[in-house]
Structure 1
């Protein structure tokens, strides 16, 4: 989904965000299923601790989510800086992993909630909190919007107003060349 144009109405902007949230939710929903499936598979078939099982499950989900976000949710976003995009995606995904694992770890080892049902409840809660962070960070920093023709868009930053500068679609005719001033005619010394 491309960012709304500078002159877009509030309704158009809202529709754009709703479409983006729906696509993000579809990919994220698949990621949650992968995450929970791998987590429960590991917990029932191995003796790994909750934290380690969670890290493995999240890692598998991160790979699935990147593919879904890049080729579905944000397929029309800037693709020029793939290395930067992947680095930021991994960084923000790891922060989300810390959020999710921290909540699960606190519930399991801090409060003793270690049954399969309790683990899944706190895992889902951790996924929800981490998802809010990931949605904001991915759309703001990782999958940047391409500027619309005739408009440039600055990335939105939480807590700051997003300024949009408009570029005229019909450029004004070029002004006639002005004679050079005395300072501009002075010989230039090449830089060493």
Structure 2
């Protein structure tokens, strides 16, 4: 096989591998999003017709609880599925790094809302949601590359 053909074959395999990883990462992230938002709505609003959830008077605590559940789900999904062949031996070190990366992601998302509100002077529902979606996108890219490089590394 020629060098050029070999290089083309390896490049194709690398691209397929990264797309598999991106797809798995995206599926885990989408499910974690459902856990977060679904959990929050169940905790605050309850099931339809139930008259409210168990944390209806504590929406901030409900948001923290739902986000924590989603983060744990995301860690497990990424560790045991997306990056199952490349996770750390020391579980506590991996979980600490994962938590740190997610806190940075949270700051990125909150930061875009802060900039929208305080630097740009925008305060509509639309501007908040655009800022959050933009921040979520940037934070997702940050998480993907940080997970690959720092959190889930091959032994």
1:6-62 CA distance string (max 9 Å, x none): x8711111111111111101101111222333455567644746xx77555433321
Aligned residue runs from structure 1 range 10-159, under 5 A: 10-39=11-40, 45-46=56-57, 48=59, 55-107=64-116, 110-113=121-124, 115=125, 119-146=128-155
SS at match of 1:144: coil
CA shift in 2, pair 1:70/1:78, >3 Å: closer
Give the TM-score of the pair, scaled to structure 2.
0.70
Please, what is the CA RMSD of the aligned residues?
Answer: 3.0
- Could you tell me whether the CA contact under 8 Å between 1:31 and 1:65 is conserved in 2? yes
Give the TM-score of the pair, scaled to structure 1.
0.58
Structure 1 segments unaligned to the other structure (5+ residues): 1-6, 147-192
Using the TM superposition, give the Cα deviation of residue 128 of structure 1 relative to its aligned residue in structure 2, in angstroms: 1.4
Structure 2 segments unaligned to the other structure (5+ residues): 1-6, 46-55
Q: Which has the higher helix share?
A: 2
Which of these two proteins has the greater Rg computed from alpha carbons?
Answer: 1
- Could you tell me whether the CA contact under 8 Å between 1:54 and 1:101 is conserved in 2? no
Provide the aligned length of Structure 1 versus Structure 2: 136
